[in-house]
Structure 1
């Protein structure tokens, strides 16, 4: 990671928007710390994964958790959901799940002689989509409007989803039997993808002690609520991003589009997600401005799942994560003192 030091500490010009008050950031860090501690009582030995999940929550994004069965994907999603006192729905994705099961359906009421809308599983503040890639692509596509526009349209009527709204989806690797690949359009709507990985021997030993008799989820109490999370999201939106850092974000995304190792680069939505996630990461560090280091740390989880390696890269067994890591090393950090045109 390129060290940027304090040279990127910004000085705001009069025409630029007002930043979030500095006093808000300790409050955000304290509240987010309570959520982090609650989740880590359930998920042992994965602080980086828990931090990324918190970052996505505060950046108003959606999280995709991908790994082999049995490593705690659903446990992480449920722990994050239970730590917040808000509406939570779980949708178990199966091959026979219908789009109407996700979005809702209009049902004829014989008493009123009219159609009434019955909401589907997507109507909640936090939606846990378990094994999302075991449903058909048609059902997966039912999430596209919900995730991007935070609304559902059924029979010509649009229903808005309450804020905060977050989809936490788990999936197994595509090599597993009974899985369908996620459409590119849906992968692009997830702000970040994380992998749990196998725990260390020490963490697995602690897990045997903590999970041996009962699930720690049973004792997990909410440490914040939806209104407080919405307030934290507003604070994150006030984190300052300098023109030089914005140029660096664009340079990283553009490099994926020009790389010979990739046949599909990152979209403009990826640039927006990268900057929004960097704002949340800076706020979690009790910092009111974004550093290039924030973008570098988030480049792999935010960009890699949107990319398609070229045939040559696949033959060489170079994953999208490896390509992004190499691009981060090669893309120069802009001069923070150069004025944007």
Structure 2
């Protein structure tokens, strides 16, 4: 956990970074620490959800893994960068985003610490960059000037695209010539099929449904490019951790055990649990989305964070001039202190 002071993050920083719009018993016994929050600490943790999805804090609560800690849902988020921005401003207490987005905020002075990984890419769950079957685009060399759809800029899909192009010989100016276009995930397939995009990035249920309808093919995936990796973490404000160490430990340990539960339980059991949670919480959501879950994609057991899961992206961000050399010390922006599986 970081100990050095950081410059307060202002609205200008957000604008500069492009973030302003942005077996059960065995698994559940993985933590010996108490799940009770000491007196004087908050026991209510505010968070944002995702429509049609179950987050790991929600799964942890449903499995009874949070002890005295209670979640307060304040609405749904639109993207990871928006979620961690809301965490920085204090509108919520815990938020999750792509590790590259976390690096951008920390470089701008955000007093946050990554505490547990919650999503990633593997052979079953990954981000695909899709084109139409009849598209002339066959590889990186064909992407000069292409419009590439993604859910937000300055995050996972844009950074993976940058690495793909760089590995295929693109200069920084040529990479900037490939245009990221912000498209809501629910509209990404239609935007591709209607010709508004040359390439569309799709994940999860959106990509599964699009592939089932046919007429599209994969240009590449982040898993093919980088192998299996954890891609994003939940973060807490440093002041929240300092004021609520017991709550922090109970919260993070519960989330870690929920991640481990999803990593070790049979696929049908996980999908059934997700479907039941979505139905019972009564947010007028489509429960069919849960059936498209394939895996958490999280590489480390229980979401344990590996330093390379930040240093990999930091290297690219420094190389492209987004973050200045030496502005971020990877060892000080994440911690496994509260994770019983680390």
TM-score, normalized by the shorter chain, greater than 0.5: no
Greater relative contact order (CA < 8 Å, ≥ 6 in sequence): 2
Larger radius of gyration: 1
Normalised by the size of structure 2, how large is the TM-score? 0.29
Normalised by the size of structure 1, how large is the TM-score? 0.29
